[in-house]
Chains A and B, each alone.
Chain A
């Protein structure tokens, strides 16, 4: 069962506009959420995270929003730049017990930012 889902396989955005990437989860035990960016032939790179006690976290051009009641999070990139073109993965973890540390990833969304 897919506990973390990214339903949009791809997203195309014009440079300077906003990119919004979405992620849904089903496991109520998840309490920490992360976004990773991946370029071809490289491992995923950590981008931004959010704890379940917050509903928003901002870091420069990147903002993550968490809606716990809807089990939904989103990543906003403003303004989008061509260098942001990559695969973006949403990930979640459930802290506590022996599951502390394991990340469950979504399938990824390919973001293309056009100049």
Chain B
């Protein structure tokens, strides 16, 4: 059983550069979520997909952020013109939307450092 995987695990970039992260969910899961976690805080919801449709976006997701899930499989999260405030752990999670339970399974995260 391969869980949720994320790539890269770490990314260091200079302010103003663009970065892209990838998430591969558990294969049969049709829901995919992105969260952001900063030091001392719990994960904060960014956006989620059911299959290829992006159903909700947080107000935290500025215009510099864009997420896609082509063909309802893997997902990418792109941050354009990075700022130091974007430094955080970016977590991806997936779940199966079959019941009212909402147990999401998380990947190891991508730690972004913006210099």
Contacts and interface: CB of A to CB of B under 8 A. Distances in A.
Interface of A: 4, 6, 32, 34, 36, 41-46, 49, 51, 89, 91, 93, 95, 98-108
Contact of A107 (B40, B48, B97): B40
B45 A103 contact: yes
Nearest to B48: A101
B102 A32 contact: yes
B109 A43 contact: yes
Contact of A102 (B41, B48, B108): B48
Nearest to B50: A101
User: Which 6 pairs between the two chains have the least Cβ-Cβ distance?
Assistant: A105-B42, A43-B106, A44-B106, A93-B102, A102-B45, A43-B108
A43 B34 CA distance: 12
Given A43-B108, A101-B33, A101-B97, A34 B44 contact: no
B100 A32 contact: yes
B71 interface: no
B79 interface: no
Contacts of A104: 45
Max chain B Cβ within 10 angstroms of own Cβ: one of A45, A46, A103: A103
B24 to A, nearest CB: 13
A98 B56 contact: yes
Contacts of B93: 43
B101 A32 contact: yes
A34 B106 CA distance: 13
B112 interface: no
Nearest to A31: B100
